[in-house]
Amino acid sequence: MCLATGYALRGGLLAQRKTEIVGLDLQGLLFGGLSIAAAIWFFGPMVGLALIASVVIHEYGHVAAFRVAGHADARFRLIPLMGGVAISDSLPATQEKDFFITLMGPAIGMGSMMLALGLSGIMWSISAPVAAFLSTFAMVTGALNFFNMLPFWPLDGGRMLRVIAHAFWPPLGYLLAIAMSAAFVAAAIGLHSFVLFFFALMGVQSLASSNMLAKAQRPLSRKHAVLAAAAYIFTAATLFFGGGYSFFMRFL
Domain boundaries, the chain: 2-251
Cβ atoms of 63 and 57 closer than 8 Å: no
Peptide bond into 154 cis (omega under 30): yes
pLDDT of residue 157: 92
Question: What does the pLDDT profile of the chain (252 residues) look like in tens digits?
Answer: 888 888 888 888 776 665 555 555 666 666 667 767 766 777 778 888 898 899 889 989 999 999 998 888 877 776 655 556 667 778 888 899 999 999 999 999 999 999 999 999 899 888 889 999 999 999 999 999 999 998 888 889 988 999 999 888 888 887 888 888 888 888 888 877 777 777 777 777 777 666 677 677 888 899 999 999 999 999 999 999 988 888 888 766
Q: Which of 242, 90, 96, 214 has its CA nearest to residue 153?
A: 214
Task: Locate the DSSP E strands across 81-187.
Answer: 83-87
pLDDT of residue 145: 95
pLDDT of residue 25: 60
The CB-side HSE value for 228 (13 A sphere, CA atoms) comes to 28
3-state secondary structure of 77: strand
